[in-house]
Amino acid sequence: MKKVTAWQCSFCGFYKKTKKSVMEHEERCYLDPEKRACATCVHNLFSKDYFETEKELTNNYCYARDVYLLKKNLRINCSLWGIKNKV
């Protein structure tokens, strides 16, 4: 066994050995509030497991757009986005 150094996303915990891979990931990470994405929007009911594992769960729902959020309809920079309050 050997110790390795890795880079980690500041928002979701995704990690890889190369900085470039993580930088590319962070540019599209749904958990970055600056991306105005579904994961941080007040209009969405979602399970955090969905965004970590990319499973298509049926309880991910956007109230503003009236759609279930499967991977194909997740958005970044949505005009209907509103910040979710942290509890």
Task: Give the pLDDT confidence of 32-67 residue by residue, as tens digits.
Answer: 989 998 888 888 876 555 455 555 445 678 888 888
Q: What angle do CA 54, 5, 24 make, to 5 degrees?
A: 45
Does the pTM surpass 0.95? The reply is no
Look at residue 70 and tell me whether its pLDDT is greater than 80: no
Name the token pair of 6.
């890795």
The residues spanned by each domain of the chain are: 7-73
Closest CA to 67 of 87, 44, 48: 44
